[in-house]
């Protein structure tokens, strides 16, 4: 059995003297707002005018593939948490699929995820980082704004930040939709572009915020993390569309685990995909809660 740290710190965050996740200012982010707003606007106007069953099929397949292989497995469980090992070429392919989801580039995803992760482990943090505001205000903040902390921690993306490929993806992540859009346009016309790019990106980005908001507000819990100011909840109805990511209480409990749906009956397609890669010899050192003794010491089970 591989030996690994079963309770690692947040990988990319460097705690500097005086750094704090509490005080900060939320400001409108023009680039993010225009990107998310444009995708949503085109989707709202264009999808009713261009519906076809083939366009719907393209939307369904591309959404499922990019969320499963890209966001859940590539970006989250591999690039951010290193919850399994795989060949470098496969990691890049999975991360590229994650870029196509339309949330951010690889380094931006690490920064956004790890800052929130670090902040939520503290006794308190800014409402932006805790999804503590009302749904409408939180939607505006998360989809159109950025938080600037008064005393932020340091950030080091590690090997991802040193990779020329990932630095290129970080600079061009929005433009990566263009090659796919050209292929869809050539095969299925503008209907496929609107459904396969604009609607897909809008649904993925909005859904990512929506499930994240709910997962920090209400829902079932199996664990409480000691000393953490923000606790997580599961969102059972979203388990399949999020490929297992919606078992967020489990994820807070065991953030380094490749398996997020850890209880009987909890669907986790992301973990199933990793097991498929393992059967093909493309994934190994798969980390699960089994044997995570150090991490369990920080948990308090929630009694039924």
**Hey, is 65 helix, strand or coil?**
helix
- Whether residue 190 lies inside any domain: the answer is yes
Range of the domain at 189: 28-220+268-290
Question: pLDDT at residue 67 above 60?
Answer: yes
Q: Of 33-37, 71-75, 280-284, 289-293, which gets the smallest average pLDDT?
A: 289-293
Confidence of residue 52 (pLDDT cuts 50, 70, 90): very high
- Whether residue 84 lies inside any domain: the answer is yes
pLDDT recorded at residue 298? 93
Distance CA(196)–CA(174), nearest Å, equals 15
Please give the backbone phi and psi of residue 173, each rounded to the nearest 5 degrees, phi first: -60, -35
**Hey, is 148 helix, strand or coil?**
strand
Distance CA(53)–CA(16), nearest Å, equals 54
Percent of the chain with pLDDT over 90: 95
Environment class of residue 139 by beta-carbon count within 10 Å: exposed (0-12), middle (13-18) or buried (19+)? middle
What is the rounded average pLDDT of the residues 77-88?
97
Question: Is the Cα dihedral 42, 134, 9, 235 positive or negative?
Answer: negative
Show the CA angle centred on residue 32, arms to residues 81 and 44, nearest 5°.
105
In angstroms, what CA-CA distances link 24 with 12, 87, 143, 147?
20, 40, 17, 7
Mean pLDDT of the chain: 96
60 contacts: CB under 8 Å, gap ≥ 6: none
- Whether residue 55 lies inside any domain: the answer is yes
pLDDT recorded at residue 6? 75
Secondary structure (DSSP) of 228-257 = -SS-----GGGTTTTTTTT-HHHHHH-TT-
- Could you give the angle at which helices 88-99 and 164-172 cross, rounded to 10 degrees? 10
Q: What is the pLDDT of residues 156-169, one digit of tens each?
A: 999 999 999 999 99
Question: Is the Cα dihedral 205, 209, 210, 215 positive or negative?
Answer: positive
- 225-241 in b/e burial notation, b at 16+ Cβ within 10 A? beeebbbbbbbeebbeb
- Whether residue 272 lies inside any domain: the answer is yes
Helices (H) and strands (E) in the chain, counts: 13, 6
Confidence of residue 5 (pLDDT cuts 50, 70, 90): low
- Whether residue 182 lies inside any domain: the answer is yes
Question: pLDDT at residue 1 above 50?
Answer: no
pTM exceeds 0.85 for this model: yes
- What's the domain count of the chain? 1
- Whether residue 260 lies inside any domain: the answer is no
- Whether residue 66 lies inside any domain: the answer is yes
Ranges assigned E (strand) in 12-153: 13-14, 24-28, 145-149
- Whether residue 168 lies inside any domain: the answer is yes
């Amino acid at each position: 059995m591989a030996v690994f740290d079963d309770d690692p710190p947040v990988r990319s965050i460097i705690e500097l003297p005086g750094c704090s996740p509490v005080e900060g200012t939320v400001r409108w982010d023009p680039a993010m707002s225009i990107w998310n707003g444009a995708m949503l606007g085109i989707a709202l106007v264009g999808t009713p005018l261009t519906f076809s069953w083939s366009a719907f099929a393209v939307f369904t397949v591309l959404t499922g593939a990019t969320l499963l292989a890209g966001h859940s497995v590539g970006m989250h469980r591999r690039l951010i948490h290193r919850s399994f090992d795989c060949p470098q070429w496969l990691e890049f392919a999975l991360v590229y699929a994650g870029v196509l989801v339309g949330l951010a580039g690889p380094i931006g995803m690490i920064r956004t995820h790890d800052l929130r992760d670090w902040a939520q482990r503290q006794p308190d943090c800014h409402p932006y980082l805790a999804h503590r505001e009302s749904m409408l205000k939180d939607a505006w903040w998360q989809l159109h704004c950025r938080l600037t902390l008064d005393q932020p921690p340091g950030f080091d993306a590690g090997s991802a930040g040193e990779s020329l490929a990932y630095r290129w993806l970080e600079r061009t992540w929005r433009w990566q939709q263009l090659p796919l859009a050209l292929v869809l346009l050539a095969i299925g016309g503008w209907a496929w572009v609107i459904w396969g790019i604009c609607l897909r990106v809008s649904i993925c980005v909005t859904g990512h915020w929506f499930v994240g908001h709910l997962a920090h507000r209400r829902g079932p819990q199996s664990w409480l993390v000691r000393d953490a100011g923000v606790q997580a909840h599961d969102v059972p109805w979203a388990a399949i569309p999020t490929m297992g990511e919606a078992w967020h209480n489990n994820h807070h409990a065991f953030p380094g685990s490749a398996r997020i749906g850890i209880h009987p009956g909890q669907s986790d397609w992301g973990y199933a995909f990793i097991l498929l890669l393992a059967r093909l010899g493309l994934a190994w050192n798969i980390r699960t809660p089994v044997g995570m003794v150090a991490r369990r010491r920080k948990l308090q089970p929630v009694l039924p």
